[in-house]
Structure 1
């Protein structure tokens, strides 16, 4: 009787290998706001009773409450456009056994905010004029703030001589260097400036507000 039981169990021991659900590839860097990423396995599932595995991707915002992602049933998954940090895992099934992979996190940067240029005071001809920010650029960068994490391109409009309520979009030209301040001196007139802020991590570019500078003949 004991020999019969041993022979009955032997095929299960031989055919059933340890089931490993595989390992998900991590996402090394944060993503730009409102972007997506392709997720996949670094190592594939192994073992079990056969090589027929089924997959169910899940996501969570807090790593505690998980929900199934509709139609996400393959080894790869392209996320939706993400605007907040999101965590992922996969339920891998073989026969009647279901195991969970490791969890991976996708970190999302805040949206790019170009900041606000300070309103300049009226200046005199020949004075050194310094244009800068009243609110610095932020978001869309790894260090979460700080002027050095952005590229700056100051622009001046070719309109001058009187205040304008609207400016021709083709009248802008580059001035200054790649820095968060711009120094100049000008003859009497009205001048218009703005700054193009670019994320150094590929998260786009945005213009600041436009400011008007009045320069007078103070003699």
Structure 2
């Protein structure tokens, strides 16, 4: 089967991209996935530390273990809210995010992405020398770096005609994700699905420029 690439301007790619939760079973070409990873690799990072790591979860066993952990995590959360005043609202919230999480196991390609735990940025170095009393910038730096890498990854996917979705919700259900995946020295920040889209979601509401920008 021959796959044709889509040619678009950067702004078109940004405007047309959607979070895709329903995929066709066809597996994307490996070179396309490698191209997406190369674009992720080009993201800026503190001191060019390049701390972001991607893990493609291809093992059926690992996928099943993750799924069972998701199910167990949901049940644990539902038990934890039983005595809460807002139990009904919280139950609805948990069930909603569970539904928005479980689709990832039906995606042709599933990644976990995170950052190396041994990352040592500027603020961490100052903290280790007792110059800063709290290394509050480290996680912020890492989260920004992951976001920049993911931006390149998903926009390249859009250019190739692939759909993607970034998920952080499952981590609330699966607190021991690194243990399940057998990953050391990396903190998983999110999951990413990829594949040929089998849906065409509309544009979700967006804020205006005046709502997000001010001159000071």
- TM-score when scaled to structure 2? 0.22
Name which one, 1 or 2, has greater alpha-carbon Rg.
1
Q: Which has the higher contact order (CA 8 A, sep 6+)?
A: 2
TM-score by length of 1: 0.21
